[in-house]
Amino acid sequence: MGGRSTAALDGFPLHIIMSGSFDEMMRRTRGNLEVLHKRLLALGYRFSNPESALLEPDAEVEASIAFLEENIGKVPLALSSFYRVVGCVDFTGGHPEWEGCEYPDPIVVDPVAYSVSEAQEFLELESPNDYTISNSGIFRIPIAPDYYHKEDVSGGLWYGIEVPNENEDPELLEEWHHTTFVGYLRLCFEWGGFPGLGRDETRHSWPLATLKEGLDAI
């Protein structure tokens, strides 16, 4: 980093600098999701929940994050920034003419309200040992159903993030790529919103090139 850049950062706490970086990343994420949403609609994709396929942050987002941090622990910046800048996304659904991929694993990031509801249930437990989601007893924020449940097939545990968590880009547990939250978003955009297409790269008829054309790197 050159002298000018270093000087520009003097006096700013590291978490403020990192927060700004994640916010910019999530602005690009939001832009990509808006592009994908429009493309999918134009191509005739049928969203399972069209009214909530892509929602902006609600008025309670700051209060919800504060509740989690005050009662559970530190929420990683990558996730809190997503909640604040993007909101939530649910691209589950299908297209009658797109074939060859049984489990496309569409991008989903649940609303922060789901995390608050899960946390409230967690706080009512008599002991962390009663928390059946994790053997460690550490609370998990729900991020998305697994790729089976997204197709209404019984599967495994939902993708989640442990909190409290000091990693600003934390591991996304149960996700089959074994990556972080930001890594998951990048994989989703690499595959036009549907990372499961990577399992059937040469056999599916999905318009992958059209879906991912011109998406911003994050």
The reported pLDDT for the residue numbered 6 is 42
List the chain domain ranges: 14-93+104-212
pLDDT per position as a tens digit, 32-57: 999 999 999 999 999 999 999 999 99
Strand partners, 180: 171
Which pLDDT tens digit goes with each residue over 143-196?
999 999 999 999 889 999 999 999 999 999 999 999 999 999 999 999 999 999
Please report the pLDDT score of residue 3 as a whole number.
Answer: 41
2 confidence band (pLDDT: 50, 70, 90): very low
- The three-point CA angle 55-60-65 to 5° equals 100
Q: Tell me what the mean pLDDT of segment 130-138 comes to.
A: 88
Residue type present at position 194 = F
Mean pLDDT of the chain: 92
Q: What is the pLDDT of residue 17?
A: 54
Whether the CB-CB separation of 94 and 199 falls below 8 Å is answered with no
Burial group, residue 141, by CB count within 10 angstroms (0-12, 13-18, 19+): buried
Sort strands 108-109 and 140-144 into parallel, antiparallel or unpaired: unpaired
